[in-house]
């Protein structure tokens, strides 16, 4: 059933096109599909070592960075649920979304986010900042969780029904409501985009 998950699809792509470029960051670094898969697996093992369990919600607030891509995929690879939050939110907004999603952990960029950190602190939610300093290095966690076991990731099998993403409605008429999306939903969205725009393995977006 792993083939019906977003994480399983990415694993398949990494095996089929290992040397193809997956991500390019402003000409500063290029990461292949094989390298991205490696980074995601290692970051996921760190997330598990930090105490995150299947079904837990992990909030992420980042600018548009490669760290966000890696950590989003790592969270769902760990069978947890990713809850991305706009880094421009005010403290009160962070507090609402963190509380409503029942987030167990907050992930931020290395430089942090004062409003998000204040909200997490009030709610007693632990925070970890992450950074990828070099393409050949692993994602660094601060504070570093206990030593992770990369081999144990082979025992964590993603299911199509795993809730991979937790979003909120805009809340224009009432309080924003949570919208959970399963891994199968995420994979279907990827396939729909690929089909509509007729994307192939030679395209860049």
Query: In the chain, pLDDT over 70 holds for what percent of residues?
Result: 97
**pLDDT score, position 97:** 97
**pLDDT score, position 56:** 99
- Domains, the chain, with CATH or none: 2-142 (3.40.50.980)
123-160 pLDDT, tens per residue? 999 999 999 988 789 999 999 998 888 888 999 999 99
pTM: 0.94
6-32 pLDDT, tens per residue? 999 999 999 999 999 999 887 678 899
Distance between start and end Cα atoms, the chain? 28
Residue 3 confidence (pLDDT) above 80: no
91-113 pLDDT, tens per residue? 999 999 999 999 999 999 999 99
Mean per-residue pLDDT for 33-44?
Answer: 97
């Amino acid at each position: 059933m792993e083939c019906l998950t977003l994480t399983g699809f990415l694993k398949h792509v990494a095996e089929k096109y290992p040397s193809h470029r997956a991500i390019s960051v402003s000409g500063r670094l290029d990461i292949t599909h094989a390298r991205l898969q490696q980074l995601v697996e290692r970051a996921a093992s760190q997330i598990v070592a930090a105490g995150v369990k299947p079904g837990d919600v992990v909030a992420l607030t980042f600018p548009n960075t490669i760290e966000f891509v890696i950590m989003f995929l790592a969270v769902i690879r760990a069978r947890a649920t990713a809850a991305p939050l706009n880094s421009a939110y005010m403290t009160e907004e962070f507090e609402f979304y963190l509380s409503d999603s029942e987030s167990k952990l907050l992930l931020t960029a290395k430089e942090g986010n004062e409003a998000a950190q204040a909200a997490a602190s009030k709610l007693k939610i632990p925070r970890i900042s992450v950074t990828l300093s070099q393409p050949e290095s692993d994602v660094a966690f601060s504070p570093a969780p206990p030593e992770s076991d990369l081999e144990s990731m082979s025992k964590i099998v993603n299911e199509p029904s795993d809730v991979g993403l937790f979003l909120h409605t805009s809340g224009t008429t009432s309080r924003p409501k949570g919208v959970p999306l399963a891994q199968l939903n995420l994979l279907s969205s990827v396939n729909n985009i690929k089909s509509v725009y007729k994307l192939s393995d030679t395209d860049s977006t």
